[in-house]
Amino acid sequence: MKVAVCVKEVPDPSAPKRIDPQTFRLDRSVAGALNDFDTHALEEGLRVKEETGAGEVVAVLMGPERAGDSVRKALAIGADRAVHLADEALAGSDLVATSKALAKALEREGADLVLFGQQAADSDGAVLWAAVADRLQLPVVSQAASLEIADGKARVKRQTEYGYDVIEASLPCVVAVSDAINEPRYPSLKGIMGAKKKPQETVSVADLGLAADDVGEAGSRTEVYALGEPESRGDRIKIEDEGGNAAEKIVEYLAGKKLI
Amino acid sequence: MPSLVYVEHHEGEPVKGSLGVLAKAAQLDGDVAAVLLGSGVEGLAERVGRHGAARVFVADDPALEAPLPQPRVDVLAKLVESEGFDTVLFGASVLAADVAAGLAARLDAGLNWDLVDLELVDGKLVGKRPALGDSVIVDVGWKGEPRLALVRSGTFEPVESGGGAEVSKVPVEIQDWSQQAVMVEQAHEESEGPSIEDADVIVAGGRGLGQAENFSLVEELAKALGGAVAATRAVVDAGWYPYATQVGQTGKTVAPKLYIACGISGAIQHKVGMQGSGTIVAINKDPNAPIFEYSDLAVVGDVHQIVPKLTELVREKRGA
Ligand SMILES: Cc1cc2nc3c(=O)[nH]c(=O)nc-3n(C[C@H](O)[C@H](O)[C@H](O)COP(=O)(O)OP(=O)(O)OC[C@H]3O[C@@H](n4cnc5c(N)ncnc54)[C@H](O)[C@@H]3O)c2cc1C
Ligand SMILES: Nc1ncnc2c1ncn2[C@@H]1O[C@H](COP(=O)(O)O)[C@@H](O)[C@H]1O
């Protein structure tokens, strides 16, 4: 089984996030981190490879050069190889443009199974897989709470608004996994040391057979006009559990509001 | 702006979210059409017409019976092209999101998601999208047509305006690859499990509880407060707690007087199911947890320490 796993670098969740008021793009000058949701996809890819006994797991990441740290992290966790789509021309890509570039990269891989995470923590789109699958002309199943590979098929339990469906898709196919599908492993020291030696390919837009204006802002079909403040929920109170008195403070607060 | 609204249906009923989007589209511009895709769905056309659609397109075919996205993309792509719709709107759902994104790729069309409002500004369509854990609102638009949009669930209310619609049949032609995902077992509304929609107090648990057994902490607190227990998708998917108790986009929508979130990060998909709560208290050990953005009382700390103590104090206070 050859498994390709799409992973993204997002701003470090512990750093405050902001949108640049000039460019309307997310300020990516803060430290980056491998999208947590995608470590579940990676884990699932590794599990499938281990269970089927042979094959490889390829991490595919589109993002600026500095996202190389996240590429290395994916390798340290266990991916056998990585493809990094890095090109100035990709900056500002929306769904249409991103799916175009990723689909081209995935086409070159010809994996039996293409995995996605549940969502990118910075865009919360939770949609990219369906666009990529359409371009690859492959079946797609999303929101997978469990995944089994058998008899040339992927069997997925997915949650919708009505409970759980069971869907089967013939391989090759695209599956987007939920963040409860597994407990991702952490990179081991050996993994971290070994990551540097694993094959890593940096791919440009031209390498993918695309023109610069197929992707990035030029290839995008959406735009941003302005930023505003949302309505606030009113006064918020924040307390820390210092000296273990948080429970008392909560009771006081609830009593003050006549909620107990 | 000839626009098309994708109307989802479940067990013979158009879903509320889709009818809400239809009402909004009709308010922006009277020239609104709706599309129904499924098997045996023709009977719904009249209902849809009464909710604001001047025209209803019906694609009725056994190939569209299962709620799977790709056959729908095939039919919609042809319809949008042949009828020249410049706007296609969807109420968010698991199915609709996959249909919308597939359609965006097929038509090379812009898709904006998670919109909480739509406006016409000088004839130009502008969407409002909350970002970064809803801490900013971004005005988004489209370059070129068609313009595709997914509206956040629960955003617009349906309006029954009456009137009839002109109904037309849509040809159904499905691509090979679109038929390679097959429904083996389709979900039915779960009737088992406690009902949480009417509770005045809800204590909800998330993955921060650490393991299924620790839900007893949340159950004890709920009992002390005379409330119900709810859960996040992460713990429902993991089998810690029943689906019937899930709050959020693919679970229940609740609005108790008091909602206490224990070990819940506060993803948008969770928020949409509980933001109408009167008072929100969140206990989370991560001071940057998104849930603190919309909690009235944010408590930074460990649920294992705080919740048992809180239960005890509540019991004392209520004399139970
Ligand atoms: C299409 C779609 C639909 C979805 N529908 C829903 C839905 O209906 N409902 C829903 O809930 N989610 C839904 N989700 C999933 C959602 O995006 C999140 O993944 C999910 O809500 C996370 O659940 P959680 O908060 O339990 O887990 P996590 O995000 O893992 O959060 C756990 C939290 O616990 C905290 N924590 C850890 N240990 C402790 C401790 N000892 N004490 C205190 N705090 C601790 C952590 O800091 C963290 O913030 C949906 C996602 C998609 C893509
Ligand atoms: N730039 C990217 N490079 C590789 N994979 C990505 C990228 N952006 C998103 N993904 C994948 O698509 C999933 C959904 O992203 P989104 O639709 O943006 O929320 C993520 O969980 C990743 O698996």
- pLDDT tens for chain B, 320 residues: list them: 689 999 999 999 999 999 999 999 999 988 899 999 999 999 999 999 999 999 999 999 999 999 999 999 999 999 999 999 999 999 999 999 999 999 999 999 999 999 999 999 998 999 999 988 788 899 999 999 999 999 999 899 999 988 889 999 999 999 999 999 999 999 976 656 668 999 999 999 999 999 999 999 999 999 999 999 999 999 999 999 999 999 999 999 999 999 999 999 999 999 999 999 999 999 999 998 999 989 999 999 999 999 999 999 999 998 85
Q: Find the B133 Cα to ligand 1 centroid distance in Å.
A: 13
Q: pLDDT (tens digit, 9 = 90+) per residue, A218-240?
A: 999 999 998 888 777 677 899 99
Cβ neighbours of B97 (radius 10 Å):
24
Q: How far is B166 from chain A (nearest CA, A)?
A: 30
Residue whose Cα lies nearest atom 25 of ligand 1: it is B264
Q: Residue A62 has what DSSP assignment?
A: E
| Ligand nearest to the Cα of B133, by number | 1
> What does the alpha-carbon distance between residue B201 and residue B197 come to, in Å, rounded to a whole number?
10
Cβ neighbours of B122 (radius 10 Å):
5
Q: Residue A88 has what DSSP assignment?
A: G
Question: Euclidean distance between the first and final Cα of chain B, in Å?
Answer: 62
Q: Tell me chain B's radius of gyration from C-alpha atoms.
A: 22
- Torsion sign over Cα B277, B283, B287, B289: negative
Q: Is the ipTM of this complex over 0.85?
A: yes
**Closest among B239, B243, B246 to B190, alpha carbons compared:** B243
- State whether residue B166 sits within 8 Å of chain A by CB: no
Q: Which residues of A touch B250 (CB under 8 A)?
A: 143, 159-161
- Judged by DSSP in three states, A134 sits in helix
Q: DSSP of chain B, one letter per residue?
A: --EEEEE-EETTEE-HHHHHHHHHHHHH-S-EEEEEEESS-GGGHHHHHHTT-SEEEEEE-GGG-S--HHHHHHHHHHHHHHHT-SEEEEE--HHHHHHHHHHHHHHT-EEEEEESEEEEETTEEEEEEEETTTTEEEEEEESSS-EEEEEPTT-S---------EEEE------SGGGSEEEEE-------S---TT-SEEEEE-GGG-SGGGHHHHHHHHHHHT-EEEE-HHHHHTTSS-GGGBBSTTSB----SEEEEES----HHHHTTTTT-SEEEEEES-TT-GGGGG-SEEEES-HHHHHHHHHHHHHHHHT-
Asked if residue A123 has its Cβ within 6 Å of ligand 2, the reply is: yes
